[in-house]
Chains A and B, each alone.
Chain A
Amino acid sequence: MADLRSEFVGIKSPNPFWLASAPPTDKEYNVRRAFAQGWGGVVWKTLGLDPHIVNVNGPRYGAVWGADRRLLGLNNIELITDRPLEVNLQEIKAVKRDFPDRAMVVSLMVPCDEESWAFILKKVEDTGADGVELNFGCPHGMSERGMGSAVGQVPEYIEMVARWCKAHTRMPVIVKLTPNITDIRYPARAAKKGGADAVSLINTVSSITAVDLDSFSPEPSIDGKGSHGGYCGPAVKPIALNMVAEIARDPETRGLPISGIGGITTWRDAAEFMALGAGNVQVCTAAMTYGFKVVEEMISGLGQWMDEKGHADLGAFTGRAVPNVTDWQYLNLNYVTKARIDQDLCIKCGRCYAACEDTSHQAIAIRPGRVFEVIDAECVACNLCVNVCPVETCITMERLEAGTVDPRTGRTVEQRYANWTTHPNNPMAEAAE
């Protein structure tokens, strides 16, 4: 049986699945039930200074749905905790006492002065919590008051606050990053420079999910008006994966622990984040959609996969995909493939034809009897037909053996690896060695 035990910046938990700082971790009642269900840890809903903030009293969420109303993306305009600091601290202390084996990290967001941070860190330390996460991510509401992503978008502030925190606590400090920035490596580098023990990402993406076409109000609508919210759930996973990978392979931040967040819904999503360098993962929307029970599938699924692949523990696969993330210029241009349609699996819908004929390279022919065939002399191997085909594995991309002639280019496929940096069409090409 695979060992799912996790240790992240010295914080131990029975599995790598933590609940992200959000409504699921908003209070003692929730967190106790989450732990009872099997979650490895939580990042408590972000605390702030008293007087506590207030939330809107109308709807907080907007959503994007797929078929059968499957929730694909969730958008929220909720702020940080709207309960008194002292109440939260007592609850954190009580839960940690009763669940000593679970990770208890506390998310924090206070004004950008050293005194405020020092004050709250002391309070959190007294609860027996395992660590803190600095919320520099919230893209709405708090940012208008100079907190949240207003800090996260300025690397100098991140570095400064991280440094203060490290100076005022012995607890591990995790900096939570906002994706609402052009290049995620800069805030990550700043966090590292400031002495942070880890980064966690992503927080939510600034978004408007929909507009009501009768009232012309953005959704969710508060008395006819809306404000942008933070987007999360399955829809943001690709954005989050890329940002995690960017930090994992950046020479300046290499080795900096990462807690992966963003759209994690199944064990597979979690495994992908970890393969791209995340030491553990945090989940919010999946729990908000399906309840705490989803962690049972995550635990059993990850365990089964690790057993099948012979990964004894989390370390065995963490970061394994990082070396394979590279820049476009280093991709092998001698890797030549062609689409192949398995006629036995083909159900003759013709979607590949419509896609290729109308928007790609006119490389699929319709033969009598609705038989769809790839024209090798036209196929550029773009993969679009594979992506639009409703039948899994019906269309595959097959590599042309070295020595065969690509009928499209008339060139013989070469065995050796060659990329753009040495390509004759590249004005900046280096001479081939």
Chain B
Amino acid sequence: MTASPQTPGIVAGRLPSAVVADNFSDVAPPLTAHEALVAADRCYFCYDAPCIAACPTAIDIPLFIRQIATGTAEAAARTIFAQNIMGGMCARVCPTETLCEEACVREAAEGKPVEIGRLQRFATDKLMAAGVHPFSRAAATGKRVAVIGAGPAGLAGAHRLAMLGHDVTVFEARPKPGGLNEYGIAAYKTVGEFARAEVDWLLRIGGIEIRHDHALGREVTLEGLRADYDAVLLGVGLGDVHKLEVPGRELVGVRPAVEFIAELRQAADKSSLPIGRRVVVIGGGMTAIDAAVQSKLLGAEEVTIVYRRGQERMSASADEQEHATTTGVRLVYHAVPIRLEGDGRIERAVFAYTMETEAGLAVSEETFTLAADQLFLAIGQTLAEVPAGLVLEAGKIEVDGAGRTGLERVWAAGDCRHGGEDLTVTAVAQGRDAAMDIHAQLMGG
């Protein structure tokens, strides 16, 4: 090994590959069978349980936990998958502390909720490991549906449609399916090839064809799809990122965090990835946290997240923030970059402090400088250009409650659609619900 955390510049191999491999192992290891029984026993089997309402996919949580407690984790998995076909991924990536587990009455009682996410993983892992796909298709309806995007929204929709007997073609711009499950989620939340394995497992329903390297607006058009298919479901996610409008943004070493993360997710040997000695991340969401934490795990000496508002406004949950700080990431609040400096490559970032005022965020005169040889922008993703005829609302596709867009026979779900948090579980819920509405409309005549 030649490099160390102190080696200047952006270099690979700052840590021995065994250390990197260990750093990227499962953050929340699976429960053993006995641990699962103990954890399941804590569930009170609440009446009209608040956790169900807090889950965007409304999984019957008390029921699946009772099924685990009585030794039938496979039945528990069926309960989960019936509502959420990506229950396996959700069990790993959901910010449960702001969803089901926040609503758990034991959180109110003792500040220690039932470990719903980990129990969900226990059950879903078990059925998937057994190689069982618990659903089969209804009789063919002869209807054909085009789904754009093989992310959680698109695949959840495709699965439900296929199950109801429709034939589904998924058009996916990238060479691999999964969307951000494959290219975005932090590596230590979904270790191994789980994202890929989950898609393969999901496709076992049959009746779904994925056409990779087929992008809407490139290989296919919405007009053409509307002509060829009975319905179209858009699940294109957010394909673009906000730009940073400051001098020096073109310097080498400055790039969107999502790009870095996608590269990281695709790297078989993570220690082969080059990473800066001093990494600065701009932003306050899940993407900022993931970019910062993973930089640190690759061996960056110093990693700092700079967020323009206060801690309480960060969209990353308290648990995620804590995960960052315990990994050794420094969080700086109330500051915005005003200038990036360096000779061709970034060397420094200059920040100004901000203040919350009645009129909004104000930038003060006071500044500070952070040394940086790499800077990641995680200041939000945006919708890429959408086909004509779709109406936008706050930068996303406008839909009604069922996910119908303004265009006849076109639905939208997931991050690209207005309404709901940008989460895997929300994308799954919306994809599923859009599919149900498509089904109702196609079969209603």
Looking across the interface, which residue of chain B has its beta carbon closest to that of A65? B37
- In the complex, chain B residues 17-52 whose Cβ is within 8 Å of any chain A Cβ: 34, 37-38, 41, 44-50
Say whether B44 contacts A390, CB under 8 Å. yes
For A158-179 the 0/1 string (1 means CB < 8 A from B) is 0000000000000000000000
Looking across the interface, which residue of chain B has its beta carbon closest to that of A388? B44
Nearest CB of chain B from residue A292's CB, rounded to whole Å: 27
Of B104-112, B213-221, B351-359, the one with at least 4 CB within 8 A of chain A:
B104-112
List, in ascending order, chain A residues with CB within 8 A of B50's CB.
Answer: 348, 370
Say whether A69 contacts B46, CB under 8 Å. no
Say whether B38 contacts A67, CB under 8 Å. yes
Number of A-B contacts (CB under 8 A): 35
- The one of B37, B41, B46 in contact with A349, judged by C-beta atoms closer than 8 angstroms, is B46
For B191-214 the 0/1 string (1 means CB < 8 A from A) is 000000000000000000000000
For B334-366 the 0/1 string (1 means CB < 8 A from A) is 000000000000000000000000000000000
Tell me, in angstroms, the Cα distance from A348 to B104 when the chains sit together: 10
For B39-68 the 0/1 string (1 means CB < 8 A from A) is 001001111111000000000000000000
Tell me, in angstroms, the Cα distance from A347 to B106 when the chains sit together: 7
Judge if A36 is at the interface, Cβ distance under 8 Å: no
List, in ascending order, chain A residues with CB within 8 A of B105's CB.
Answer: 347-349
Judge if A391 is at the interface, Cβ distance under 8 Å: yes
Judge if A83 is at the interface, Cβ distance under 8 Å: no
Say whether B38 contacts A68, CB under 8 Å. yes
Number of interface residues of B (CB under 8 A): 15
Tell me, in angstroms, the Cα distance from A68 to B44 when the chains sit together: 15
Residue of A69, A347, A351, A391 with most chain B CB atoms under a 10 A cut-off: A347
Looking across the interface, which residue of chain A has its beta carbon closest to that of B107? A347
- The one of A69, A350, A390 in contact with B47, judged by C-beta atoms closer than 8 angstroms, is A350
Say whether A347 contacts B108, CB under 8 Å. yes
- The one of B34, B46, B106, B108 in contact with A351, judged by C-beta atoms closer than 8 angstroms, is B46
Tell me, in angstroms, the Cα distance from A350 to B47 when the chains sit together: 5
- The one of A67, A68, A350, A391 in contact with B46, judged by C-beta atoms closer than 8 angstroms, is A350
Judge if A354 is at the interface, Cβ distance under 8 Å: yes
Tell me, in angstroms, the Cα distance from A348 to B108 when the chains sit together: 9
Say whether B47 contacts A349, CB under 8 Å. yes
Judge if A353 is at the interface, Cβ distance under 8 Å: yes
Say whether B44 contacts A351, CB under 8 Å. yes
List, in ascending order, chain A residues with CB within 8 A of B38's CB.
Answer: 67-68
Tell me, in angstroms, the Cα distance from A353 to B106 when the chains sit together: 17
Looking across the interface, which residue of chain B has its beta carbon closest to that of A372? B47
Say whether A354 contacts B47, CB under 8 Å. yes
Across chains A and B, which 6 residue pairs bring their CB atoms closest together, nearest first? A350-B47, A67-B41, A354-B47, A347-B109, A347-B105, A349-B46
30 inter-chain pairs at a CB distance below 8 angstroms, sorted by A residue, are A67-B37, A67-B38, A67-B41, A68-B37, A68-B38, A69-B34, A69-B37, A347-B105, A347-B106, A347-B108, A347-B109, A348-B46, A348-B50, A348-B105, A348-B108, A349-B44, A349-B46, A349-B49, A350-B46, A350-B47, A350-B48, A350-B49, A351-B44, A351-B45, A351-B47, A353-B47, A354-B47, A370-B50, A390-B44, A391-B109
**CB within 8 Å of B: which residues of A?**
67-69, 347-351, 353-354, 370, 390-391
Extra inter-chain contacts (19) besides given A68-B41, A347-B105, CB under 8 Å? A68-B37, A68-B38, A69-B34, A69-B37, A347-B108, A347-B109, A348-B46, A348-B108, A349-B46, A349-B49, A349-B105, A350-B47, A350-B49, A351-B45, A351-B46, A353-B47, A354-B47, A370-B50, A391-B109
